[in-house]
Amino acid sequence: MSVPCPFCYLPSDRIIDSNDAGFVLRDAFPVSPGHTLIVSKQHVGSVFDLTAVDRDLLLRLLDRAKLVVDCEYQPDAYNVGINDGVAAGQTIPHLHIHLIPRFNGDVADPRGGVRWVIADKADYWSTR
């Protein structure tokens, strides 16, 4: 028996914004204050399965979500990411974009950002 997709059966009170292609909610397991998800209304696993119009609409939600997080949390920067496929770390096979607010000092050395998904290759700036 398969587990129902948590994004397909999400309680409506979790949704903080939406448009024709997707919706916005706060991550249930945030890695930083304001960690937000932009989720496709279509149950597809990959951003590459969307039409250009739907991708554009999701990016419009991303822009709007950033403005809200800017006002509520005043982050110093952001990581924006999509885990697209199991090998990339995707654990829920339903397309969603992470908007992760970053704050000065939240990690000792933030250089490399998303490059750290493959830690042995992330640091290209030192003489390791």
Is 125 strand, coil or helix?
coil
Q: Nearest 10 degrees: CA dihedral of 3, 12, 64, 71?
A: -110
SS3 content of the chain, % helix, strand, coil (to 5): 30, 20, 50
SS (H, E, C) 88-103: HCCCCCCCEEEEEEEC
* Euclidean distance between CA atoms 19 and 60, whole angstroms: 9
Q: Which residues participate in catalysis according to the annotation?
A: 96
- Residue 95: name the closest of 31, 4, 23 by CA: 23
